[in-house]
Structure 1
Amino acid sequence: MNKQYVEAVKTIKTAILKSQSRASRYTNAEMLSLYYSIGGYVSENSRAGTWGTGAIDEISSRLREELPGLRGFSGRNIKSMRQFFEAWQPFLQNSKSLAINDNSAAVATELLKVERTELDFHENQSPLAADFKMEYFTGISFTHHMEILHMTKKLDERLFYVRECALGHWSKYVLRTRLKDDLYHHKGALTNNFLLTIPNDKQYMKAIQTFKDEYFLDFINMEELDLTDQQDLDERVLENEIISHIRNFIQCLGSGFCFVGNQHRIEVDGEEFFADLLFFQRDLRALVVIELKKGKFKPAYLGQLNFYLSALDDQERKNGENPSIGILLCREANKSVVELAIRDYSKPLGVATYRTPDELPGNYKILAPIMEEIPKLLSDSQFMEEEKEE
């Protein structure tokens, strides 16, 4: 093909892909706009007593009669739109509810343009507000918004999950996992020495936000391991379980982690050493070593991990990469002991704990599989129509 034609194809292809991306964003923003506006209209009339009992279900039924094939407007979904409006209306500037035409009782066509609206937070209302962008709000689907609203109460929590969901492009299933793990309260709570060992402020903040203080390894089935003492979970057994479910473990860690290998060999002057788990974290642009310990934290563990980081930085760190980071994953840890032990090390280190399903109370262990399925089934049923439309 003529070189000019090849260039033309490349140019047009790029334009198409960019246009499709913009169209997708605008479609989602327009849908949120529609749902928000309808939610405002329903809220205004149903909360004030203008409509009688059962009005929403009746309206839903009539809508589907007059618009055959309409999806996403069941009575339950319309109530979700009302909840969506009522949750965010106090923080949206220049927000409008749908108006009713006095002559025809038809819904007016002027809808709120969410993408052109700004979030307005009162002073001291939310620490996250200063860094929150409207594109995060319009960047996730209505289904994602409702998952967040159902599982959180405080504004700061909601902003956190909306932002993380938008930036990480989480599926609704990943979002549910993060909500279940209570990521908001655990992310950034890791006991560490990053302030002293990571001089770059941006890199420091990224590192703080990347790691949690506790990880729930719910994919490890203790009964299948056939251990005589489930509390005495051997480190190699734990490692093998993680490797067998590496996708689940990466989801526990969060976005940006790339698995390099386990029992990673490090050689120093003819002597061999083996790091349990090695990852590369794309956002931090750094290798991350995770060492597994079956019991309680001991200060001596940090010396081994610090040594691994020194060796990796000397032998394997590439140009442009940041210093390696070490995370010690223990069954339990005394925070005061960890803080005292970790502060004088020169490499970036953190200590986190993990839980496994055997730590759940006996009654809960029996009910856990059922309890896990019920919200999923209810949520799938609730949002099935919206997803078909989206």
Structure 2
Amino acid sequence: MLAEVKTRIQSAQHAALRAVNTELVGLYWDIGRSIVARQQVAGWGKAVVAQLSTDLQAAFPGVGGFSIQNLWYMRQLYQEYSTSPKLQPLVGEIGWAHNLLILSRCKDAQQREFYLRMTRKWGWSKNVLAHHIDNQSYEKSLLGQTHLEKTLPRSLHAQASLAMKDEYLFDFLDLGEQHNERALERALMARIEDFLRAMGGMFAFMGSQFRLEVAGREFFIDLLLFHRHLRSLVAIELKIGEFEPEFVGKMQFYLAALDAQIRHKDENPSIGIILCKEKRRTVVEYALRDARKPIGVATYEITKTLPKNLRGQLPSPEAIARLLDKL
């Protein structure tokens, strides 16, 4: 009974916080709309907005949010989103601080939609959201080379595609460019919290060198995670060199064994991520073409980078819109 009541209380608390946030952002939206309307009709300038801030703070002492800067943010929020019916509802579903972060750091409408939807869906904190923006998760998710659309149920495809990236940033590691796979694995395990955050923040750690036994032989998966929202085991193989086609066959074997021996009946099919230092995109495309298991091939970096030549390979705006609509 205690467990049930605690769960109910937590659910009510979360619902109350969501309701308060929705009302707060709605209030700020209305204030921003009023400022824009008055500027258009009466030619309001900076001095009038500053006076409004002073008057509001005097009328509601102890209530934050009415600083001059915040009023200008309210105006900007309304101006940026008032002409986008698709994004307006999303604004009220995440926190004010999250909105300001997206507003200031993202200039493209579809990039903003990505972070608005992902923050709402995965419940990212402000710091996690900032990490994803810094790590260029939007671009890296859309560039991802996977075989998910042909190997996962339609209901999971969009979520899984956006949960996997084309490149992962491990800038928290103290590794030189020359390192072996075991050193990489040990370094990741030593910073497991940072590693899980870099992977996307919705993973639980299941083990390193995870043991499988098949026909009396032992096999070991470098890292095994569990994605909480996808409800899928995620096997990760670490490769310090360039992607080779034979990596796919080995990963398919691991996923088949996981599904047969480890996966629970209420869980979705296991997913594989082959993490390499380098890859040739055409080689990956051919290697995954006839794969029967959901596998993604990504690279890792220990410094922040997204090659400029890859930015031109992002999907078309129409394809991005279709993908975001499924979130």
TM-score range, shorter chain: 0.7 to 0.9
For structure 1, list consecutive stretches of 5 or more residues without a partner in the other structure: 1-5, 92-119, 121-128, 223-229, 361-390
**Equivalences for 1:130-279 in 2 at 5 Å?**
134=89, 136-198=90-152, 200-222=153-175, 230-279=176-225
The answer to whether the 8 A contact 2:18-2:93 is kept is yes
Query: Match of 1:77, as an amino acid?
Result: N
User: In structure 1, what is the equivalent of residue 71 of structure 2?
Assistant: 78
The answer to whether the 8 A contact 1:187-1:210 is kept is yes
Query: Match of 1:36, as an amino acid?
Result: W
Deviation, structure 1 residue 270:
3.1
- Name the SS for the 1:197 alignment partner: coil
Query: Match of 1:176, as an amino acid?
Result: A
Deviation, structure 1 residue 314:
2.6
Q: Does 1:331 align with 2:285?
A: no
CA distance in 1, matches of 2:101, 2:40: 23
Note the alpha carbon deviations across 1:218-248, whole angstroms, 9 max, x for none: 21123xxxxxxx3222111111111111111
The answer to whether the 8 A contact 1:188-1:210 is kept is no
> Structure 1 length normalisation: TM-score?
0.71
Q: Tell me: CA distance 1:25–1:47, structure 2 relative to 1, closer, same or farther (3 Å).
A: same
Query: Which one of the candidate residues 354, 364, 380 is aligned to 2:300?
Result: 354
Deviation, structure 1 residue 211:
0.7
User: In structure 2, what is the equivalent of residue 306 of structure 1?
Assistant: 252
- Name the SS for the 2:293 alignment partner: coil
> Structure 2 length normalisation: TM-score?
0.83
Note the alpha carbon deviations across 1:79-131, whole angstroms, 9 max, x for none: 1111111112223xxxxxxxxxxxxxxxxxxxxxxxxxxxx3xxxxxxxx4xx
Identity %: 37
CA distance in 1, matches of 2:254, 2:287: 17
Q: Tell me: CA distance 1:64–1:208, structure 2 relative to 1, closer, same or farther (3 Å).
A: closer
The answer to whether the 8 A contact 2:143-2:165 is kept is yes
For structure 2, list consecutive stretches of 5 or more residues without a partner in the other structure: 307-327
Note the alpha carbon deviations across 1:306-341, whole angstroms, 9 max, x for none: 222222223222223333221100111000011112
- Name the SS for the 1:70 alignment partner: coil
The answer to whether the 8 A contact 1:276-1:291 is kept is yes
Give the structure with higher Rg (CA): 1
CA distance in 1, matches of 2:135, 2:97: 19
Deviation, structure 1 residue 48:
6.2
CA distance in 2, matches of 1:31, 1:316: 45
- Number of residue-to-residue matches in the alignment: 306
Higher relative contact order (CA 8 A, sep 6+): 2
The answer to whether the 8 A contact 1:277-1:291 is kept is yes
Deviation, structure 1 residue 68:
3.0
Query: Which one of the candidate residues 27, 31, 52 is aligned to 1:38?
Result: 31
Deviation, structure 1 residue 286:
2.1
The more displaced of 330-339 and 38-47 is 38-47
Query: Which one of the candidate residues 279, 282, 289 is aligned to 1:343?
Result: 289
- Name the SS for the 2:226 alignment partner: strand
The answer to whether the 8 A contact 2:232-2:267 is kept is yes
Query: Match of 1:185, as an amino acid?
Result: E
User: In structure 2, what is the equivalent of residue 60 of structure 1?
Assistant: 53
Q: Tell me: CA distance 1:17–1:321, structure 2 relative to 1, closer, same or farther (3 Å).
A: closer
The more displaced of 155-164 and 272-281 is 155-164
Q: Tell me: CA distance 1:25–1:268, structure 2 relative to 1, closer, same or farther (3 Å).
A: closer
CA distance in 1, matches of 2:72, 2:279: 45
CA distance in 2, matches of 1:216, 1:13: 36
